[in-house]
C-alpha cells in the first residue's frame, strides 16, 4: 500500500487550470520531492491532498483510502509562509495542535518536552510564540508537524528563511523521520535541498507534470553527454569526441552520442596518459529544471 | 476529547482571555457600582440641612393669614407695601416676595419678585406657594380633609389582572421595561465586541496559515461548530456574570437607595426568555460572523461586511417603537419576531412594551434554532471554499455558485 496515491487531479480557478492532470505515488520511508517554480501549482496540489480544497477531477488516496478524520490524524502538514497563534505559549501551541490530531493532551505534553529538549529549546517552553526569533518559531512549527508521530509528513518550503544551523538541525530531523519509515513529501523550488534529501521527485510547471521518477534516473537521462577530465599528457584525436572546451585545471570533452564514456577512458589509458579525474558529467537538478522550464518560455 | 469540543474550549479560553471581554464583562457591574456610589455621595450632599426659605407676600385681598409655615422649611411673611417688601429683599431678610393681586381670585395672577436669575422657580417653592394659597382660599369653606383631597386629588395605584382575573405576576411599568431593555443593550454590546474578536481571530488564522494546519486536522464543519460553540459559551459566561452581579447589585441598591428598587420583582419567565434569546441571538451572529470572516479579505474588510448583519439586528430597536406606540400588537412586530436575525431584539422590545403570545414565542425560537443549524451548514460550505483565497474576496455570484455546487 502506498502512503499517498494521487490520480489525475485537476483544479481550476477562474477558468484557469492551476493543477492539470497530476498523478504520483509516495511510499513509506521515502523522501519525495515536489518541485517546480513559484506558482507552478505545488501548494494547490498539497491542499487537495490534505482535503483542504477538493479537486475538480481525479482523486487522492492516503494509506489506501480517501481522507477521513482517522487518516488526518496520521498526517503532519507544515504549510508555506506559516505562523502560529502569536499569543499562545510554545507548550500550549504544541499540545493544542497535537490534541487536534487526536493525541491525548498529557501524552502530547510529555512528547512536547522530549522534542523541545531534542532541539535545545526546553527553556523557551513557557514563552509566547511572538517572543521567539523567526528561526526558533519555524523549528516549533516543525515540531507541531511531527509531535503526533505522523506516518506521512508534508513539508511546504520547510527551509525557507532558516539560518544554516537550524537548516542542518531540520535536515537531520527529516532524515531521522525517514529512517523510522515515515513518508515525507518535500515541496520546494530549491533544487539543492532536493538533491541532498530526495529519493524521487515530481516536477511541476504551470500545473502540469514535466518530470517524475528516481532522481538518479532523471539525472542520467538529462546527462549532457560530456566528460570532465583532469590529466597530464597530450590528448590528440580521440575517437567519438566531437569537441572540447578547456577550463581552468580540467577539460570538458563532448561525445558524439554513440560512444560510451568507458570507450574514451580505454583510449586514454592505452595512450598512457596520467589521469587524475575522469567523470561523466551529470547536470545538477537546477540545470535540468532551468532546461525544462526554459523550453516552455 | 472530541475535536469540536477541543476547538470550542480553545476558542472559549482565547475569547475570555482578551482584554475586550474582560473590560466589557466587568464594565457593567463596575459602572453600576460607581453609579450607586455617586448616588450615595450626591444624596449625602443634598441631605445637608435644608436651607430655610423665607418668602414675603403682600396680601391685596386679605384673608391670607394662616398656613405661613409650609413643608420644606418654607415660611411666608406678610408685608404691607411693595416698598417694604423690596427693602426686606435687598436687606436679605427674605429670599423673594409675591403679590397676591386684587384680581387674584378671578385671574389667578401672582407677581413674583426675586434677585436670582433662574430658568423657572424651584419646584419646592412653587408647590409651597400653591399649598399656601389653596389652604388659605379653602380655609373655613370646607373640612380640612376635603381641602387635603383638593390639593392631591389622586394617588394612582395600577394593578394588572391576568386572564383568570387574578393579579398578574408581571405588573408591567418600569420594572417590566427596564429588564428587557437591559437584555437588549447587553446583547448588542456582546455581539459587537465578540464579533470583532472573532473576525480578528479568523483573520489572524488566515494570515498566519494556522487555518491550513487546522483544516488538515479537522473538517471545516468541526472547526466552525467548535468556533461557534466556543463563542456561545463565552456569551453564556458573560450573561451569567452579568445576571449574578445584577442580583447582587439589586440587593445592594434596595438596601441603600430603596424606592422603586426595593419593590423590584423581576419575573422569572422574563429572565429565562432573556437568557434563551440572548444565547440564540448570540449563536446566530457567531454563525454569520464566521461566514463573513471566511469571505472577507482582511479583518477590517470582514468588519465592514459584518455591518450587513448587524444593521438589521438593531433595526427593531428603532422601527418598533414607532409602530408599537399606538398599537402594541402591530403586525410588523409579529413579522420581526419571526425573522431570525431581528427576533432577539424584537422580543426584548415587545417584552418591554407589551406581551407576546406563547405560539409566537415558540415559533420564533424554533425558527431561530433552524436558522442557526442551517446557517452553520451553509457557512461551513462558504468557509471551505473561500477561506484559503488570500487577499481577495469573492463576489456574491461566486458565493451563490459555490453554495449550489456544494
Percent helix, strand and coil across chain A, each rounded to 5? 35, 30, 35
CB contact under 8 A, B212 and A50: yes
pLDDT value, residue B166? 78
pLDDT tens profile B346-379: 888 787 777 788 888 899 999 999 999 998 888 8
Give the minimum alpha-carbon distance from A170 to chain B in angstroms, rounded to a whole number: 19
Give the minimum alpha-carbon distance from B6 to chain A in angstroms, rounded to a whole number: 7
Query: How far, CA to CA in Å, does B188 sit from each of B210, B232, B235, B307?
Result: 30, 14, 11, 13
**Cell triple for residue B63?**
384673608
pTM for the complete prediction?
Answer: 0.71
Mutate to test the interface with A, among B14, B205, B214, B217 (most CBs of A within 10 A): B217
pLDDT value, residue B50? 64
Sign of torsion, CA B179 B181 B184 B190? negative
A297 pLDDT tier (thresholds 50, 70, 90) = very low
Q: What is the mean pLDDT of chain B?
A: 80
With an 8 Å Cβ cutoff, is A98 touching chain B?
no
Chain A residue with Cα closest to B210: A84
pLDDT at B406 over 60: no
Using CB atoms, which residue from A53, A69, A81 is nearest to B388? A53
Give the minimum alpha-carbon distance from B13 to chain A in angstroms, rounded to a whole number: 11
For residue B305, give the nearest of B223, B382, B196, B190 by alpha carbon: B196
Angle subtended at Cα B96 by Cα B90 and Cα B101, rounded to the nearest 5 degrees? 115
Question: Which residues of A are less than 8 Å from B6 in CB distance?
Answer: 96, 99-100
Instruction: Give the whole-angstrom CA distance, residue B355 versus residue B360.
Output: 11
What's the mean pLDDT in B127-149?
A: 85
**Cell triple for residue B204?**
489572524
pLDDT tens profile A232-260: 877 778 888 888 888 888 888 888 877 88
pLDDT tens profile B220-238: 888 888 988 888 888 888 8
B272 pLDDT tier (thresholds 50, 70, 90) = confident
B275 pLDDT tier (thresholds 50, 70, 90) = confident
**Cell triple for residue B352?**
418591554
pLDDT at B162 over 80: no
For residue A97, give the nearest of A82, A87, A85, A113 by alpha carbon: A85
Which B residues in the span 366-395 are in contact with A, Cβ-Cβ below 8 Å? 384, 388
Give the minimum alpha-carbon distance from B320 to chain A in angstroms, rounded to a whole number: 43
Identify the three-state secondary structure at position A280. Answer: strand
pLDDT at A222 over 90: no
Strand partners, A214: A200
* Residue that has been written with the C-alpha cell 494546519 in this structure: B213
Instruction: Give the whole-angstrom CA distance, residue A270 versus residue A157.
Output: 50
What's the mean pLDDT in A80-93?
A: 84
Residues 6+ apart with CB under 8 A from B103: B109
Q: CB-side exposure of B238: number of CA atoms within 13 Å?
A: 33
With an 8 Å Cβ cutoff, is B69 touching chain A?
no
Contact B303, B289 (CB under 8 A): no
pLDDT value, residue A32? 93
With an 8 Å Cβ cutoff, is B8 touching chain A?
no
With an 8 Å Cβ cutoff, is A86 touching chain B?
yes
With an 8 Å Cβ cutoff, is B212 touching chain A?
yes
Instruction: Give the whole-angstrom CA distance, residue B309 versus residue B345.
Output: 13
Who wins on pLDDT, B193 or A279? A279
Which A residues in the span 132-191 are in contact with B, Cβ-Cβ below 8 Å? 144
Contact A138, A81 (CB under 8 A): no
Buried b (16+ CB within 10 A) or exposed e, A89-103: bbbbbbbbbbbbbbb
For residue B95, give the nearest of B66, B67, B124, B136 by alpha carbon: B124
Contact A178, A3 (CB under 8 A): no
Contact B283, B371 (CB under 8 A): no
Question: Which residues of A are less than 8 Å from B392 in CB distance?
Answer: none
The H or E element that residue B64 is part of is none
Instruction: Give the whole-angstrom CA distance, residue B401 versus residue B406.
Output: 8
With an 8 Å Cβ cutoff, is A84 touching chain B?
yes
Percent helix, strand and coil across chain B, each rounded to 5? 65, 5, 25
Amino acid at each position: 500500500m502506498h502512503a499517498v496515491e494521487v490520480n489525475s487531479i485537476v483544479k481550476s480557478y477562474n477558468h484557469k487550470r492551476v493543477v492539470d492532470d497530476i498523478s504520483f505515488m509516495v511510499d513509506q520511508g521515502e523522501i519525495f520531492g515536489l518541485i517546480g517554480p513559484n506558482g507552478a501549482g505545488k501548494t494547490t496540489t498539497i491542499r487537495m491532498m490534505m482535503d483542504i480544497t477538493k479537486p475538480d477531477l481525479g482523486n487522492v488516496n492516503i494509506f489506501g483510502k480517501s481522507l477521513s478524520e482517522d487518516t488526518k490524524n496520521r498526517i503532519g502538514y507544515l504549510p508555506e509562509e506559516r505562523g502560529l497563534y502569536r499569543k499562545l505559549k510554545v507548550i500550549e501551541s504544541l499540545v493544542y495542535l497535537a490534541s487536534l490530531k487526536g493525541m491525548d493532551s498529557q501524552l502530547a505534553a510529555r512528547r512536547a518536552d522530549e522534542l523541545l529538549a531534542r532541539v535545545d529549546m526546553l527553556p523557551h517552553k513557557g514563552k509566547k510564540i511572538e517572543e521567539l526569533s523567526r528561526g526558533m518559531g519555524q523549528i516549533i512549527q516543525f515540531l507541531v508537524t511531527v509531535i503526533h508521530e505522523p506516518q506521512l509528513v508534508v513539508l511546504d518550503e520547510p527551509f525557507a528563511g532558516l539560518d544554516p544551523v537550524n537548516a542542518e538541525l531540520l535536515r537531520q530531523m527529516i532524515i531521522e523521520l525517514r529512517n523510522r519509515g515515515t513518508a515525507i513529501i518535500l515541496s520546494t523550488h530549491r533544487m539543492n535541498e532536493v538533491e541532498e534529501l530526495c529519493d524521487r521527485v515530481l516536477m511541476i510547471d504551470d500545473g502540469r507534470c514535466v518530470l517524475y521518477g528516481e532522481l538518479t534516473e532523471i539525472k542520467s537521462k538529462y546527462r549532457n553527454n560530456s566528460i570532465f577530465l583532469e590529466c597530464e599528457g597530450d590528448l590528440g584525436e580521440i575517437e567519438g569526441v566531437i569537441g572540447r572546451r578547456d577550463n581552468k585545471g580540467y577539460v570538458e570533452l563532448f561525445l558524439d552520442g554513440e560512444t560510451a564514456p568507458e570507450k574514451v577512458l580505454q583510449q586514454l589509458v592505452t595512450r598512457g596518459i596520467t589521469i587524475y579525474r575522469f567523470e561523466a558529467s551529470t547536470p545538477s537538478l537546477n540545470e535540468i529544471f532551468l532546461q525544462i522550464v526554459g523550453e516552455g518560455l | 476529547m472530541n475535536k469540536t469540543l477541543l476547538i470550542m474550549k480553545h476558542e472559549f479560553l482565547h475569547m475570555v482571555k482578551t482584554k475586550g471581554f474582560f473590560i466589557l464583562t466587568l464594565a457593567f457591574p463596575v459602572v453600576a457600582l460607581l453609579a450607586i456610589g455617586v448616588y450615595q455621595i450626591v444624596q449625602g450632599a443634598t441631605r445637608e440641612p435644608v436651607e430655610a426659605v423665607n418668602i414675603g407676600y403682600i396680601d391685596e385681598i386679605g384673608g391670607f393669614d394662616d398656613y405661613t409655615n409650609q413643608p420644606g422649611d418654607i415660611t411666608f411673611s406678610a408685608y404691607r407695601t411693595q416698598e417694604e417688601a423690596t427693602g426686606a429683599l435687598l436687606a436679605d431678610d427674605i429670599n423673594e416676595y409675591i403679590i397676591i393681586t386684587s384680581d387674584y381670585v378671578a385671574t389667578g395672577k401672582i407677581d413674583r419678585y426675586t434677585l436670582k436669575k433662574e430658568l423657572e422657580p424651584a419646584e419646592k417653592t412653587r408647590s409651597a406657594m400653591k399649598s399656601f394659597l389653596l389652604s388659605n382660599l379653602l380655609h373655613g369653606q370646607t373640612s380640612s380633609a376635603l381641602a387635603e383631597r383638593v390639593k392631591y386629588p389622586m394617588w394612582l395605584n395600577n394593578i394588572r389582572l391576568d386572564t383568570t382575573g387574578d393579579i398578574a405576576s408581571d405588573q408591567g411599568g418600569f420594572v417590566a421595561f427596564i429588564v428587557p431593555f437591559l437584555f437588549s443593550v447587553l446583547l448588542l454590546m456582546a455581539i459587537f465586541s465578540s464579533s470583532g474578536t472573532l473576525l480578528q481571530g479568523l483573520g489572524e488564522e488566515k494570515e498566519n496559515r494556522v487555518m491550513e494546519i487546522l483544516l488538515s486536522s479537522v473538517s471545516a464543519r468541526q472547526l466552525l461548530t467548535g468556533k461557534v460553540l466556543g463563542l456561545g459559551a463565552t456569551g453564556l459566561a458573560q450573561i451569567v456574570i452579568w445576571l449574578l452581579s445584577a442580583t447582587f447589585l439589586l440587593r445592594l441598591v434596595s438596601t441603600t437607595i430603596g424606592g422603586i428598587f426595593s419593590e423590584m420583582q423581576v419575573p422569572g419567565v422574563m429572565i429565562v426568555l432573556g437568557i434563551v434569546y440572548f444565547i440564540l441571538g448570540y449563536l446566530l451572529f457567531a454563525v454569520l460572523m464566521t461566514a463573513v470572516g471566511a469571505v472577507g479579505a482582511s479583518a477590517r474588510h470582514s468588519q465592514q461586511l459584518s455591518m450587513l448583519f448587524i444593521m438589521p439586528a438593531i433595526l427593531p430597536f428603532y422601527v418598533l417603537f414607532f409602530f408599537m406606540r399606538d398599537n402594541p400588537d402591530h403586525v410588523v412586530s409579529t413579522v420581526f419576531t419571526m425573522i431570525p436575525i431581528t427576533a432577539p431584539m424584537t422580543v426584548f422590545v415587545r417584552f418591554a412594551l407589551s406581551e407576546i403570545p406563547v405560539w409566537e414565542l415558540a415559533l420564533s425560537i424554533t425558527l431561530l434554532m433552524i436558522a442557526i443549524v442551517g446557517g452553520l451548514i451553509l457557512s461551513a460550505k462558504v468557509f471551505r471554499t473561500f477561506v484559503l483565497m488570500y487577499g481577495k474576496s469573492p463576489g456574491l455570484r461566486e458565493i451563490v455558485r459555490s453554495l449550489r455546487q456544494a
